């Protein structure tokens, strides 16, 4: 208990300093000192941990400096933490428009694409709260079904309970999906200006195709020290050096 109190006290003492640092970074950005702003936002991320807003601000700094790969990396991390933020999505699309590679994704089945869109329509925290609230609503509706004296009341309680159950199940599935993506990050961004994708994890492997900075890839095999197997949205696969990418 004593340790918890000490931790909370230290946190309360640190919050004003962090707020001042963010205000300093915001001021530097407003005065177009993007290098200084990026440095402070990076320090805040190191001290505060992951934050969608800080990654978004840092991405804006890199974008204004034409560091497109780093801007995309920051926007992707912000989107992973808060997929419902329209500003993040719009800026990410703007940054992607400046990349060289144009990768056409494989068409998904309608219901799969719809599920993914719904999962990303709210943040992890919002889905978690929605799941909890609908669970409580379901309990209240079940109680109404059993204890209300009228048939109309019982029907209403039953209907609300079923709807609340369905929403609760989907909210928990969506929250789990986002949590799984946060804890098992297999997406990465090409950071080097250009990368030759090989057929095998070796410099002597056959050249398959070339990727450029800012392109998003999925990591299929992460077991080797210097090489990773990647897959593109269009299904292409190959091996690149680990140093050429950064995990989102």
pTM of this prediction? 0.79
Indicate if the alpha-carbon torsion angle 118, 124, 126, 130 is positive or negative.
Answer: positive
Within 10 angstroms of residue 75's Cβ, the number of other Cβ atoms is 30
The DSSP output letter for 105 is: P
Residue 102 lies in a domain: no
Residue 108: predicted pLDDT: 62
In this structure, the answer to whether residues 89 and 116 fall within a common structural domain is no
Q: Determine the structural domain holding residue 30 and report its residue range.
A: 2-96
* Residue 205 CB-half CA count within 13 A: 17
Containing 64, the helix (H) or strand (E) segment is helix 52-64
Read off the pLDDT band of 13 (50, 70, 90).
very low
Give yes or no for a contact between 189 and 214, defined as CB atoms under 8 angstroms apart.
yes
Furthest CA-CA distance within the chain: 79
Number of domain units in the chain: 3
Residue 31 lies in a domain: yes
Residue 12: predicted pLDDT: 40
* Residue 176 CB-half CA count within 13 A: 7
Q: What digits encode the pLDDT tens for the residues 156-180? A: 999 999 999 999 999 999 999 888 8
Residue 20: predicted pLDDT: 77
Q: What digits encode the pLDDT tens for the residues 41-61? A: 999 998 887 889 999 999 999
Residue 208 lies in a domain: yes
Pick the last residue of a domain from 160, 183, 206: 183
SS3 state at 214 = coil
């Amino acid at each position: 208990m004593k340790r918890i109190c000490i931790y909370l006290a230290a946190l309360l003492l640190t919050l004003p300093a962090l707020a001042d640092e963010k205000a300093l970074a915001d001021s530097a950005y407003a005065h177009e000192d993007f290098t200084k702003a990026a440095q402070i936002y990076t320090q805040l991320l190191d001290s505060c941990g992951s934050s969608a807003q800080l990654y978004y601000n840092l991405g804006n700094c890199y974008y204004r400096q034409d560091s497109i790969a780093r801007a995309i990396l920051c926007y992707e991390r912000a989107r992973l933490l808060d997929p419902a933020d329209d500003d993040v999505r719009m800026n990410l699309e703007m940054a992607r428009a400046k990349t060289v590679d144009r990768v056409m994704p494989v068409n998904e089945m309608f219901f799969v694409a719809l599920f993914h869109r719904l999962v990303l329509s709210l943040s992890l925290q919002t889905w978690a709260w929605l799941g909890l609230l609908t669970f409580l609503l379901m309990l209240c509706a079940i109680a109404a079904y059993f204890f209300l004296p009228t048939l109309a009341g019982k029907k209403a309680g039953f209907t609300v309970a079923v709807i609340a159950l369905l929403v609760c199940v989907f909210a928990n599935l969506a929250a789990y999906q986002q949590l799984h993506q946060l804890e098992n990050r297999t997406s990465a961004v090409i950071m080097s200006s250009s990368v030759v994708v090989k057929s095998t994890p070796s410099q002597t492997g056959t050249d398959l195709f070339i990727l450029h900075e800012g392109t998003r890839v999925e990591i299929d095999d992460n077991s080797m020290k210097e090489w990773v197997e990647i897959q593109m949205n269009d299904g292409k696969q190959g091996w690149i050096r680990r140093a050429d990418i950064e995990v989102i």
